[in-house]
Amino acid sequence: MKKIRVLHKIFSKPISCLATYSPSIANILDGKIDLILVGDSLGSTLYGMKNTQGVTMEMMKNHGAAVNKEIKKSLKVLDMPYKTYDNKIDAYKNAKILLNHCKADLLKIEISERKLVILKHLADKKINVISHIGVTPQSYKNFNQIKVLGKTNKEKQNLLKLAKESENLGAKAVLLECITADTAKLITENISIPTIGIGASIYCDGQVLVFDDLINLSTNDKKPKFVKNFFNFNKIASNVVRKYNREVKLKKFPGTKFTYN
C-alpha cells in the first residue's frame, strides 16, 4: 500500500476523483486523475438497484479487486457497503477483508454522529479513512427523497461539526455530497484535511463524479443537477451499433480481412 500522508501534500489541489467499476476503465483513468473510487454506486449504475443498500461485500470485493489490479499510479479508494460497519468489531473485520482482498489505499464510510466512534476505531487501527458527510446515500431507500443539505444554519453547523470531528478523529479527507455552496466553503475553510465534493460547489479541495455520468453512458434522464456530461458516449455508441448491424445484414462483416484462411 502506498503510504498515505495528508492527501493535499500528495496531490496539488484541486484533487480529481472518478468512480468506476471496470478494469478497462480503470486502466484509462490510472495516472490521469488523483483518486479512483470503486463506489457502492455500482448498485444502481451496474445492477439496476433503486438504492445502494443491496450492495454486498462480495460485490465490492469482486469489483474492487478487478479494478485495483489495473491501478499503478492513482490512489485506490473503496466504499464500505451498507451495514458492514455498524459496530467496531464488524467495521474492523470487514475493513481488513476489503483492504487485503482489493489492496485499496483508502476506505470511504458514510458518517453520522453515531458513526464517529467507528471512524475513530478504524483510524486508531491505522486504516486510512475518508469520511463521507452531507447526503449519505446508504441512508435512503428512495433516492427521490434526497434533498440538498446546509440550507439552514442548524444544518450548516451540524455538518461543520461532523467535518471537524472527522478530522480530529483521524480521517484523511472529507467527502461532501449535495450540500450548499456556502456550507462547503465554511467547512473547507475550517478544516485542514481536503474536502472532496459531489454536488458541493467549487469551494471544495477536489471533485468526484461517476465515470458513467461523465461520458453519458447511462440512459437515465433524471440525473442529479451536479452531473456534467463531458462526452456523449451514448450517442456515439448507438451510431456504432447501428453501423455494425447494417454491415452484418449486408454481409459486409466479416470480410476477408477478418476471416481465417
pTM of the predicted model, to two decimals?
0.93
Q: What is the pLDDT of residue 87?
A: 98
Domain boundaries, the chain: 7-230, 235-261
Q: Are 229 and 216 in contact (CB under 8 A)?
A: yes
Distance CA 134, CA 150 (A): 8
- Cα 41 to the chain's mean position, in Å? 7
Q: What per-residue confidence (pLDDT) applies to 101?
A: 97
Tens of each residue's pLDDT in the chain, 261 residues: 454 555 765 666 799 999 999 999 999 999 999 999 999 999 999 999 999 999 999 999 999 999 999 999 999 999 999 999 999 999 999 999 999 999 999 999 999 999 999 999 999 999 999 999 999 999 999 988 899 999 999 999 999 999 999 999 999 999 999 999 999 999 999 999 999 999 999 999 999 999 999 999 876 667 788 989 899 999 999 999 999 999 999 999 999 999 999
Name the helix (H) or strand (E) containing 23: helix 23-29
Residues identified as active-site: 177
Output the CA angle 255-256-258, nearest 5 degrees: 75
Q: What is residue 1's predicted lDDT score, i.e. its pLDDT?
A: 40
Q: Would you state the pLDDT for residue 218?
A: 74
Question: Does residue 23 have a cis bond before it (omega within 30 degrees)?
Answer: no
- Of the CATH numbers 3.20.20.60, 3.50.50.60, 3.40.718.10, 3.40.50.880, which one belongs to the domain with range 7-230? 3.20.20.60
The answer to whether 81 and 59 have CB atoms below 8 angstroms apart is yes
pLDDT of residue 246: 97
pLDDT at 5: 53
CA 234 vs CA 217, 218, 241: distances in Å: 5, 7, 11
Mutual orientation of helices 88-102 and 116-124 as an angle, nearest 10°? 50
